[in-house]
Amino acid sequence: MKQNLLDFDFQQLTAWFAEQGEKPFRARQVLRWIYKSGEHDFDAMSDLAKTLREKLKQTACIQAPMVMREETASDGTRKWLLDVGTGNAVETVFIPEDDRGTLCVSTQAGCALDCSFCATGKQGFNRNLTTAEIIGQVWWANHELGKGADGNWPVTNVVLMGMGEPLLNFENVMDALSLMMEDQAYGLSKRRVTISTSGVVPAIDRLKNHTDASLAVSLHAPNDELRNELVPINRKYPIKELLRSVSGYMDTLSDRRVPVIEYTLIAGVNDHRQHARELAVLLKDFPCKINLIPFNPFALSDYRRPSSSSISNFRQILHEAGYTVTVRTTRADDIGAACGQLVGEVGDNTRRSQRYRDAAEVQKDNESRSNLEQNNETAAQVTGKRFSRADNLAVAIDRPPRPSV
Ligand code: SF4
């Protein structure tokens, strides 16, 4: 089988060329072709000797995941469903703005963590993505969108906020991050590459030895009791431990960056004024920015998005307590590409997706039974006669067809 060169960071590619009996500088040349020029054809790599190009064609390939489906939202956001083989496909979203282009990248096929407000979690989990499948999403998006008039790639920022928990795929994610930030590859600034985690504390503790990328923390609740419900990994790594671990990482960075606290606002669940006050107290000794994300509805969830006034009240309380607070604008919910809505295709190993579908069926059945009972009650009040379920079906069947127009 040919070696996919997207699976290697700079160091690994250098070692691979050495194994092939080639000079180390070949790694730099090839890396630049792949990431600076977006090239996947060895024949086009004109500064490589012809014999080396022939050899590479026999032994290696440059293969990003293949696109299965592509959608463009009314606001210009693009979403791709990418085939990662073995019955799995992941979603990648490009969000264009005036001064940047942000790519939301997936790191796993599905997710094992099952946060209650997230569509990905409901699909269960299949496997970690390879380095090639992660960096390949950036490669694909740049390739598809093409360089701008200034000669730069459109992807200027990357957030690991797509499908999966990035820190549960630690090694492959670290290799992909190093390619995003490596000068010979995409050379993105550490401020423009963000890992978003639900709080895998041992992995956050390891981060400082591997990267200096920016960090976002999915908090979503101001206390352990509520967070245990919304983000189940909290039962293992509670809030205090999580904040201690994040501070430890931020302290090792050479600049004065602060983490972003992500807080999905769910109507009637975590959006009360009291929650905002509690959050303000919780974070008072924890330098951070807070990003509020109004919940984005999806099938299999009964949660609702809060009203504009409760979002604004929540924001105001935090603002008055001295925090920098942003409210994330909902983008691309018309194509299911907003935060928490991503679903690919997951060959679920956990059987969780089936359990959720079964539960939804039972709920639908219960609802239709209770509607029927209500209708019966109304009918009984009007006619003085009670109908059985069989009567209702019979009424439906006996009803004469509507005349055609
Ligand atoms: S929010 Fe993130 S960690 Fe939680 S289930 Fe969704 S993808 Fe997994």
HEC string for 74-135:
CCCCEEEEEEEECCEEEEEEEEEECCEEEEECCCEEECCCCCCCCHHHHCCEEEECCHHHHH
Mutation to probe ligand 1, out of 165, 266, 296 (largest number of atoms < 8 A from CB): 165
Phi, psi of 115 (to 5 degrees): -65, 140
> Which atom of ligand 1 is nearest the CA belonging to 161?
2
Q: Is the CB of 30 under 6 A from ligand 1?
A: no
State what percent of residues in the chain have pLDDT above 70: 87
Class of domain 3-61: mainly alpha
* Domain boundaries of the chain, sorted by first residue: 3-61, 66-349, 356-398
Integer Cα distance of 355 and 123 in angstroms: 10
pLDDT in tens, 122-138: 889 999 999 999 999 99
- The ligand 1 atom at the shortest distance from the C-alpha of residue 218 is 1
Q: Residue 292 burial (CB < 10 Å; 0-12/13-18/19+)?
A: buried
pLDDT tens per residue across span 283-338:
999 999 999 999 988 888 899 999 999 999 999 999 999 999 999 887 666 767 66
Separation of CA 193 and ligand 1 centre (Å): 18
Under 8 Å between Cβ of 213 and 189: no
Could you tell me the two tokens for 267?
A: 């109507």
Q: Is the pLDDT of residue 65 over 50?
A: yes
What pTM, to 2 d.p., does this model score? 0.87
Q: Pick the residue whose CA is nearest to atom 7 on ligand 1.
A: 164
343 touches ligand 1 (CB under 6 Å): no
The pLDDT value recorded for residue 385 is: 46
pLDDT, residue 256, reads 86
> Which atom, in ligand 1's list, is nearest to the CA of 108?
7
Secondary structure of the chain: what % helix, strand, coil (to 5)? 45, 20, 40
Q: Closest Cα partner for 270 from 59, 44, 67, 116?
A: 116
Averaged pLDDT, 61-90: 94
Q: Is 60 helix (H, G, I), strand (E, B) or coil?
A: strand
CA of 191 to the centre of ligand 1 (A): 23
Cβ contact 294:328 at 8 Å: yes
The CATH class, in words, for 66-349 is alpha beta
Q: Is the CB of 293 under 6 A from ligand 1?
A: no
**pLDDT tens per residue across span 156-195:** 999 999 999 999 999 999 999 999 999 999 999 999 999 9
> What digits encode the pLDDT tens for the residues 345-398?
787 777 777 877 777 777 767 766 666 566 556 556 654 544 333 333 333 323
Residue 182: what pLDDT?
97
